[in-house]
Chain A
């Protein structure tokens, strides 16, 4: 898929996320918008190799969405790929819907239930270790939020993965610098993040998480396993990217815009 088509997909999903959350009056708009280009690249450039007609294929790549706040985005992508009807998005967090605000493993194409943070990396490490044990060639990806890095279990799993040379494990950090109440560097400093991750024995790449070309380059060679180490890709992003009314602002987590802000947001995205 060429860049232009990927960009169109980004526009489509940005709108879809906003529409879905506005309709449901719930859901994490800003957390989804910060990782749109990341997930679009992974899924539409076929870096995550899966077959919607065979969701349990043992050779599929695994994707663990640890920052489950971005579920409106993942649900929309999985629908667009054919796992289920796009109309399911209209029932997001509704009585007759198949999914809600966080992530559930019962949805086709979703590997794990999530919502509590600090789980994804360890779970992904176990899945990747199993591939090593059984000589399976699939890759295991997991997308973490930067606020999630405050969870101690992430660092337990980080040490474990490098010790076991899990070069079939790819961690991605959506580095949008914001938790719910404040910027990470005001809460408890996370930087220098690359140094910390490298010190835990990982390859660490840092890129612009909204730049499709940089993302493509970062994911391009992972399947050839250039090193014994697992790879972490820190993606610098903007929480709420594309929506001036809620981008890079504290206290915009987990709530869709309302009233005038909602109208402004729709206008910005061309809805």
Chain B
């Protein structure tokens, strides 16, 4: 199974061969799929070294002058180290930059908390003119790359590090236009997630033949109109995220529902901030366990009252 990252860069490479304005800037982040840019399209590839703030600035300068720029690094560094640069260049001036970060949530489980990314959704969604695209699988990563020509604002493309599963690969004609996809229609309970947690929920629902709905909201800010349309068919909502709960994905869902005065109880599953950062090792599931999140606990939260 291909990673989201390789699929994304492979797709963009083919597009870049035909569009000289596509420029890829890596902050010393490598990938076999990026090597092709370096060797075959050297005039469209720049390595800025470990200097993320300069990466955002140079990328914004190029983008201001019409280049279609994709900056790339470990997501926690490219977002959190550069918030004010992104705020002025991309949120304030609306210079459209594609910020491609790898390492959503606990994608780097053994690297410790500096590499765990638990605040980016809250931070990035607090600024205007920036769309977060929290990628669920490689098929979606491919679509996001293919659509590059239509982007008029900054996209924060948030990638998983490991290949975790595919759900869109057998779906024909999926447009990814609404910012969300209703994967299962169900009764009573609607599960909402994206990325790794969407895949986890998908697996649980299939395995246990649950009759709940499943909604993949991969774009934030949320398309509230569409969310309300889907959510109003349910009695209860469970959101799942692999980020700190305050201001995160579940909060965004709550805000959308509340702003439309839709009263549906929402259970948020995510990283409780009271537990702080995690220095546990042994894989992603061990870390989640530290925070009290297991398949069993998620299942219990989904099926509560069913």
Contact = CB atoms under 8 A, between A and B. Distances in A.
Q: Do A and B bind each other?
A: yes
Contacts of B161: none
B34 to A, nearest CB: 19
A115 B93 CA distance: 12
B54 A156 contact: yes
A134 B43 CA distance: 11
Given A122-B57, A123-B57, 9 more contacts: A112-B64, A121-B57, A122-B60, A123-B61, A127-B62, A129-B46, A156-B48, A157-B58, A160-B58
A161 to B, nearest CB: 9
> 5 smallest A-B Cβ distances: which pairs?
A126-B61, A122-B57, A156-B54, A156-B51, A126-B58
Interface of A: 105, 111-116, 118-119, 121-131, 133-134, 152-153, 156-157, 159-160, 164
A59 to B, nearest CB: 12
B241 to A, nearest CB: 30
Interface of B: 23, 43, 46, 48-49, 51, 53-54, 56-67, 84-85, 87-89, 92-93
Residue picked from B23, B43, B65, most chain A C-beta under 10 Å: B65
B51 A159 contact: yes
B53 A116 contact: no
A114 B88 contact: yes
Nearest to B56: A122
A105 B93 contact: yes
Residue picked from B49, B54, B88, most chain A C-beta under 10 Å: B54
25 contacts: A105-B93, A114-B88, A116-B84, A118-B53, A119-B85, A119-B88, A119-B89, A121-B57, A122-B57, A122-B61, A124-B61, A126-B60, A126-B64, A127-B61, A127-B65, A129-B58, A130-B66, A131-B65, A153-B53, A153-B54, A153-B85, A156-B51, A157-B58, A159-B49, A160-B51
Residue picked from A116, A121, A130, most chain B C-beta under 10 Å: A130
The main secondary structure of chain B at its interface with chain A is helix
Contacts of A111: 64
Nearest to A126: B61
A90 B93 CA distance: 25
A126 B62 contact: yes
B92 A113 contact: yes
A126 B71 CA distance: 12
Contact of A122 (B23, B43, B54, B67): B54
Nearest to A157: B54
B60 A160 contact: no
Contacts of B66: 130
A112 B93 contact: yes
A239 to B, nearest CB: 24
A126 B59 contact: yes
A99 to B, nearest CB: 14
A125 B55 CA distance: 10
A122 B93 contact: no
B124 to A, nearest CB: 18
A157 B52 CA distance: 10
A105 B89 CA distance: 10
B63 to A, nearest CB: 8
A175 B272 CA distance: 49
B65 A130 contact: yes
Contacts of A131: 65
B62 A160 contact: no
A130 B67 contact: yes
A152 B64 CA distance: 23
A206 to B, nearest CB: 25
Nearest to A136: B65
A152 B60 CA distance: 18
B80 to A, nearest CB: 15
A104 to B, nearest CB: 9
